[in-house]
Structure formats: structure tokens, C-alpha cells
Amino acid sequence: MVKAREIIHVDMDAFYASVEQHDHPELKGKAVLVGGDARSRGVVSAASYEARKFGVHSAMPTAQAIRRCPHAVLLPVRMDRYAEVSHTIRTIFKKYTPLVEPISLDEAFLDVTDSTNLFGCAEEIGRAIKREILEQTHLTASVGVAPNKFLAKLASDLKKPDGFVVITEQNKQQILDPLPAGKIWGVGEVTEKALKSRGIHTIGQLRTSSLEQLQSIVGNGAADLQRLARGEDDREVEPDRQCKSLSSEQTFATDISDATILLGVLLEQVEEVAQRLRQEKLKARTITLKLRYGDFRTVTRSDTLSEATNVTQTLWETAERVFHQWHARAGGPLRLLGFGVSGLAPEQAGQQMLFRDPEEEKLKRLDQVVDKIRDRYGNRAAHRGTGTTHDGPDTS
């Protein structure tokens, strides 16, 4: 008999903002925003729960957030600090299982199916992880325990912040059926509106609708939505693997259609990935944009350079051109935007030019200067301009 799967989803509460409140005790209980400057079209990356009471959320333009919550304290993103705390949290995860799938710095799936003989049932493991995170970082996490990834993630979101929810095969429909249909993966704002127009407001109504009716609304994805509505999900937890690519992606709390904001997000991602290439002494030949629409449809757009590079400006010019080509042909509101590179090779690989391009050498020197500043003062300390600034949103 196959052992039933035991999955845990851990999601840190308002992670960036909570780290700032911990590091600056005077901010405890205050509205805190982490993100870009309102004067340069900055965007909120994270909002404390005190700020969220005023309708502020990640991916909102900072200027709009300040209008809604004028007493909020705005702080720059300190990605190195958040990565440091994330490493501590991930070390706790690895104590209980090697099957850890990081989703972002503040979120991960754990498969503890084979860990229960050592550490007790999945619920006991989840509570132990939650307790250790609090003890070691002084931060709260919301934890979901369930038989699969969909239910575990849904469970972790039900009682935020500092939540703990267990969904089982026995109680799953009792929990799922009353929830809005928009709680299902793949049901974005557009799809949810279409479902409501046909009288389908809840997961329970979606589950009991005829497949033909759903197909007339959402097309080929109807069967998948009904499987999720029944709490069925057979995807495995995929632990860290040695990567043949580097990437950065952001999921937005609300769909974004403004090309200026999206380009600001993309620039941040290009800078991050380019800096990681240089840190690893690698260069890349192919760039790829990942674009997920509000209805969860996902497309990728790629381009291959004539020569592999890790120069930020070269990667950015290629990414910007690919973005504009996509936007002109199929642009629409996005719930996720990502940038990645592949075709990796050692920095010194390939034929070395006898006479170097003076312009490229100048760009490389600029990268070196920017890297030093960012390493010392954080990613917000130096930023190439496109008319926008943005930090990846923290959607916890």
C-alpha cells in the first residue's frame, strides 16, 4: 500500500516588513512599507499588517500607498538581510526533510511523508517548525498541513498571520466548498468574474457544475479546475537541483497592466540575475521572459545573443526588446513576471578577443562599481534608470 503523502507549506508573515520591525524595535506595531521611492515611481514590495488595514498591498505604487497610509514608515529593500534570515529558516526545514521546494525567500513546500517515523505526524512536524522559526528569528510563520501542495498552500493562507491549519481527506470539502472560487490556482480576476456571471461564486459551486458548463467558460482548463475543487493535486515537491539556469520572478498581489511598472520590475530582475552571474563567474547566452496572465495562462519569450555575456546593460537591452515585442503583440495584465538566463558557461570560456571593445569594457567597469556599492549598502543603493524603480513584491 502506498503511503499517503504529507505536505507542509510554510509562508512567512509580511516577511520583509517583519524583518524590518524586528531589526528596528521602534517600528513594532507601526505601519511599515518596504519598497521604492514614491518620487521615482517606486512600488511597494512588502507592507506590514498594520499598513494593510489601510488597503495597502505589495505591487501597489508607493505614491498611492502613502496616500492611503500617510503615517507609514517607508524603508528600502535590504535583500541581503532577507536572504540571511531565509537561510536560517531553510536550515530548519532541512532538519526535518531533504525534500524542500523553495518558492521564494519566504515560502516553501516540504514533503515530510518519510519523516513521520522520526519526528511524529505531519501536524507535529509543522508545529515544531513554526516554533523553531519563532525561536531563532523572532518572526511568525503561517503553516498549512495537507495531503498535497494545493491544499497545503491554501491552508497556510486561511488564518494569516501566525496561522496553523490542517486539511485532511476527511475535512477538505468542508473547508473548500464555502471558499470563493478565486482561491483556486488558475482562477484569476478575469476568470472569477466570468464564473460569477454564470452563477458560480464558490469552490463548492464550481465542483458541482457540469464539465460542459465550465468548458464554455474556461475552455480546456475546466477539468483541472474541478480536480482542484475536489482537493486533488498529484504534483510532487521538487527539491533544489543543480541549476543550468538563473532566474528571478515576482508574483503580484493584484494583476499589473502598466508597462512602465512592469519594465521597472524587469529591470530589477535583470540586475539581480546579472549580478549573480558575475558572482558565480558565469556568462549566459539566452535570456527568457516568463509572463503569467491574470487567468494563469503562462507564456515565455526568449532570445539568444550572438555571444554569451554577464554585462547588465547587454542583458537589459535584450530583455527590454523582448518585452516590447510581447507587449505589442499580446500584452495584458500580468500576475507574474520573471527573467531568466540559460546557456551558461564559465566567464573565461570561448575565444578571447585580442582587441577589446572599449564600450563593453566601460560597461563592465560600471558593473564592478555597482556590484561593490550594492554588496556594501544593499540593492537599493545603486540602480540603473529606466524611469521606474521596483523591488520584488513580498506577497505573504
Q: Are residues 161 and 178 in the same domain?
A: no
Sign of CA dihedral 375, 378, 380, 381: negative
Instruction: Compute the average pLDDT of residues 82-99.
Output: 94
Residue 12 lies in a domain: yes
**More confident site: 186 or 187:** 187
Tens digits of per-residue pLDDT, 29-70?
Answer: 999 999 877 666 677 889 999 999 999 988 788 889 999 999
Residue 239 lies in a domain: no
Residue 38 lies in a domain: yes
Phi, psi (deg, nearest 5) at residue 92: -65, -45
276 — pLDDT class (breaks 50, 70, 90): confident
Q: Are residues 161 and 24 in the same domain?
A: yes
Q: Are residues 220 and 347 in the same domain?
A: no
Residue 301 lies in a domain: yes
Tens digits of per-residue pLDDT, 362-375?
Answer: 666 766 666 666 55
Domain of residue 194, CATH code: 1.10.150.20
pLDDT at 361: 64
Q: Are residues 33 and 133 in the same domain?
A: yes
pLDDT at 379: 47
Residue 209 lies in a domain: yes
Sign of CA dihedral 36, 41, 46, 52: positive
Domain of residue 142, CATH code: 3.30.70.270
Determine whether 189 is an active site residue.
no
Distance, C-alpha 97 to centroid of its chain: 22
Q: Are residues 265 and 354 in the same domain?
A: yes
Instruction: Compute the average pLDDT of residues 327-338.
Output: 91
**Percentage of the chain exceeding pLDDT 70:** 85
Q: Are residues 144 and 7 in the same domain?
A: yes
Domain that holds residue 193: 173-229
Residue 390 lies in a domain: no
Q: Are residues 263 and 310 in the same domain?
A: yes
Residue 276 lies in a domain: yes
Instruction: Kindly tell me if the per-residue pLDDT of 167 is higher than 70.
Output: yes
Among candidates 45, 81, 83, which has minimal Cα distance to 265? 45
246 — pLDDT class (breaks 50, 70, 90): confident
- Residues near 193 by Cβ (< 8 Å), separated by ≥ 6? none
Q: What is the mean pLDDT of the chain?
A: 86
Distances (CA, A) of 114 to 53, 148, 174: 41, 14, 28
**Percentage of the chain exceeding pLDDT 90:** 60
| Helix H or strand E encompassing 195 | helix 189-197
What total of structural domains would you count in the chain? 3
Q: Are residues 260 and 356 in the same domain?
A: yes
Q: Which of 152, 169, 186 is the last residue before a domain boundary? A: 169
Among candidates 121, 163, 190, 135, which has minimal Cα distance to 10? 163
Instruction: Compute the average pLDDT of residues 202-230.
Output: 92
Among candidates 48, 50, 45, which has minimal Cα distance to 14? 48
Q: Are residues 275 and 346 in the same domain?
A: yes
Residue 237 lies in a domain: no
Q: Which one of the listed residues 20, 50, 101, 107 is annotated catalytic?
A: 107
347 — pLDDT class (breaks 50, 70, 90): confident
Instruction: Kindly tell me if the per-residue pLDDT of 351 is higher than 60.
Output: no
Instruction: Kindly tell me if the per-residue pLDDT of 376 is higher than 60.
Output: no
Q: Which amino acid is at 196?
A: K
